[in-house]
Structure 1
Amino acid sequence: MSDTLNTPAVLSDAQIEQFIDQGFVRIDNAFPKRLATQARARIWQDIDADPKDPATWTEPVVRLWVYWQKPFREAANTPTLHGAFDQLVGKGRWLPREALGTFVVRFPSPNDPGDTGWHVDASFPPPEFQDEPELATDFDQWRVNVRSRGRALLMLFLFSDVGELDAPTRIRAGSHLDVARLLEPHGEEGLAGDMDLTVSDGRPEVLATGPAGTVYLCHPFLVHGAQPHRGTVPRFLAQPELQPAEPFSLDRPDGDYSPVEIAIRKGLNR
C-alpha cells in the first residue's frame, strides 16, 4: 500500500477539480528523463528495428508487455506519483506498481495502425472466466462496471517527447461522466470494453502531449483513442493501470469519497 506518512501533496485543489470535471490531470516531471532514456534503450532490444535507421521502421505500431527492470520500477514509483495517487484514489486504497506495461511504440508511417477507435480500458474478465482470467484472451469482452472493479486509474506514461504530430493519445474531456451513467444500469456485471461510446460524442478533444517524464493520470472511465504517427521520431508510451487495494464505494457512510469516487457520483447526479 502507499506510504501514508511521507507522500507529498502534489496536486492543487484546482487540479483535483479538473480531474473530477474533465477526467484527467497532467503531471510534468513525474519521473526523471534519465529513466525514460534508459527505458527506451531497454525497449529497443525487443523491437525488430534499428533506432538509427527509419527504413527499418516497417510497422506503424508495436506493442510490448511487462517490463520490471529498475528504470521502469523507479519511473512508476516516484514520490510525486505516490503523492498524486494518495490524493486521487485515497491513502491506503491503491497498490504500488512492481512493473510497467503495456508499452505502445508508434512509428511514423502512412499505414493505418488499425487501433484508433474510441474506447474505455476494461479491467476484469467476463463471468465465464472469473476463476481463470488468463484464458480470457478476447480483450474486447473484458468488462467495466460502475465501481471500476480492478482499476483505480488509467495512466499514460510518456517515455519520449510527444508533440501534436507524434501520435499523442486523444482524450475526450469529461467523457468519464457519460460512461458512469452508461454503466450504472448494468450493476456489478458491467459492460464489455467494446460498449457503445456515442454517449460521449461532442466532448472536447485533448491531446496527451508533453516531454518525456510527463504522466497523465486519468479516471478509469475516460474515453480515449490512438491516432497515426505523423511526426519523425518513434513515440514510446506506457499505459498501465493503477490497481485498487480495496473496491471503490459509491455509498460511504462517513462521506470520505476519493476524487475518483466523487467523479463517478457526479456522473450519476448523486
Structure 2
Amino acid sequence: MDDTDDVMVERFVDDGFVKIEGAFPPRVAEHCARLLWRETGYDAEDPGTWQDPVVWVSDMAQGPFAASVNSPALHEAFDLLVGAGRWQSRYSVGSFPLRFPHPTEPDDAGWHIEGSYVAEGAESEWPYANLASRGRALLMLMLYTEVTEENAPTRIRVGSHLDVPRVLEPYGEKGASSLTLGPKVAEASAGRPLTYATGRPGDVYLCHPFLVHAAQPHHGDRPRFMGQPPLMPAAPYELERSNGNYSAVEQAIRRGLSNKG
C-alpha cells in the first residue's frame, strides 16, 4: 500500500466509512436515475405526481447499475478495506429508498445497523447481524443524484462502528435481529459526532457493516436517489487469524471489542 492507501484504511478504521468521490462517472449515475424514475411511475418534471415520501425499488440489474458498482476505483477500495479475494463481485444494485419532498414524514428514521441474514429458528422476520458480520462485507451508499443536507441525506454517527461489537458479542454466532439491536446500538453510540452522506452523482460511501446510521425526512425540493447494497463476502470474516492478516473491517471489530474505540 502507498501512503494514500494507508490514509484510507486508517480513516475507515477510525470513522467507520470513507467517501469515494467520483467512484463512477456522472453520466452513468444520470442513466441510472432515469431508469429509477421509470420504476416510480412518477413524472420527473411534475412534483404533483410525487405521491409518497419514500418509494422503495428493489434490485436493478441493468447495465448502468452493474457499471456503477464495478468501477476500478471501487474494486481497488474493496481490496483495501475487505481484502483481495475476500469479496464477491456484484452485477446489480439494491435496495433503493427513493426520497421525495413531502408534507408527510415517514416513520423510518431510527438509528440502526443493517441486518444481513435470516437466522435459523428466529421468531422475528427482521434480518439478523452477528459479530462476524455474516453475509455482509460492507454497506455501500451509492449516490445517483446530488445529495445536499436539505434533501434527506443519510445521517451517520462517526466512529459508531466501534461501539457495536460489544453490543453484538453477547449474542454469539446466531446474532440478533435489527429490531432488537436498533435501540441498543442507538444508545451505545449516542455520544458520537454526526455527519451526513452528501455528495454528487457518482460518489459512494463505503461503510463498515456496523456503522450506526439513520434516514431522515426530506426538507428540500429535489428527490434523492441512492442505492444501499451490501458488498458480499467471499469468505467469513475472522477475528482470530494466526497470520495477523486482518482486513480493515476486522481491525475495527477487534478494536471495538478491546474497548479502545
Cα shift at 1:11: 5.2
Residues 154 and 217, structure 1, Cα contact 8 Å, conserved in 2: yes
Q: 1:225 corresponds to which letter in structure 2?
A: A
Counterparts of 2:212 and 2:2 in 1: how far apart (Å)?
27
Q: Does 1:12 align with 2:1?
A: no
Residues 139 and 209, structure 2, Cα contact 8 Å, conserved in 1: yes
1:160 counterpart SS class: coil
Residues 166 and 229, structure 1, Cα contact 8 Å, conserved in 2: yes
The aligned length equals 255
Counterparts of 1:154 and 1:114 in 2: how far apart (Å)?
22
**Structure 1 stretch displaced more, 67-76 or 38-47:** 38-47
1:264 counterpart SS class: helix
Q: 2:242 corresponds to which letter in structure 1?
A: P
Counterparts of 1:123 and 1:106 in 2: how far apart (Å)?
23
Q: Does 1:181 align with 2:166?
A: yes
Distance change in 2, residues 1:9/1:137 (3 Å): farther
Runs (4+) off by over 6 Å: none
Cα shift at 1:24: 0.4
1:16 counterpart SS class: helix
Pick from 182, 192, 196 the counterpart of residue 207 of structure 1. Answer: 196
Cα shift at 1:12: 2.9
Q: Does 1:248 align with 2:241?
A: no
Cα shift at 1:13: 1.6
Aligned counterpart, 2:33? 40
Q: Does 1:85 align with 2:70?
A: no
Residues 23 and 73, structure 2, Cα contact 8 Å, conserved in 1: yes
Could you report, residue by residue, the CA deviation over 1:222-243 in whole angstroms, capped at 9, with x for unpaired residues? 0000001111111000000000
Pick from 131, 144, 150 the counterpart of residue 146 of structure 1. Answer: 131
Counterparts of 1:137 and 1:106 in 2: how far apart (Å)?
27
- 1:25-174 alignment, distance < 5 Å: 25-128=18-121, 138=125, 141-174=126-159
1:210 counterpart SS class: coil
Counterparts of 2:70 and 2:3 in 1: how far apart (Å)?
14
> Mind listing any 5+ residue stretches in structure 2 that lack a counterpart?
none
Distance change in 2, residues 1:31/1:44 (3 Å): same
Pick from 239, 244, 247 the counterpart of residue 258 of structure 1. Answer: 247
- 1:222-241 alignment, distance < 5 Å: 222-241=211-230
Q: 2:210 corresponds to which letter in structure 1?
A: F
Cα shift at 1:128: 2.3
Residues 54 and 97, structure 2, Cα contact 8 Å, conserved in 1: yes
* Normalised TM-score (structure 1): 0.91
* Normalised TM-score (structure 2): 0.94
Counterparts of 1:66 and 1:50 in 2: how far apart (Å)?
21
Distance change in 2, residues 1:11/1:55 (3 Å): farther
Counterparts of 2:110 and 2:243 in 1: how far apart (Å)?
40
- Over aligned residue pairs, what C-alpha RMSD do you find? 1.7
Cα shift at 1:179: 0.6
Cα shift at 1:167: 0.4
Counterparts of 2:239 and 2:4 in 1: how far apart (Å)?
23
Q: 2:201 corresponds to which letter in structure 1?
A: A
Counterparts of 1:199 and 1:251 in 2: how far apart (Å)?
25
Counterparts of 1:182 and 1:201 in 2: how far apart (Å)?
13
Counterparts of 2:4 and 2:107 in 1: how far apart (Å)?
36
Could you report, residue by residue, the CA deviation over 1:17-53 in whole angstroms, capped at 9, with x for unpaired residues? 1110110000100000001110111111111211000
Q: 1:54 corresponds to which letter in structure 2?
A: P
> Mind listing any 5+ residue stretches in structure 1 that lack a counterpart?
1-7, 130-135
Could you report, residue by residue, the CA deviation over 1:162-221 in whole angstroms, capped at 9, with x for unpaired residues? 011010000011111111111112210111102122111111111000001000000000
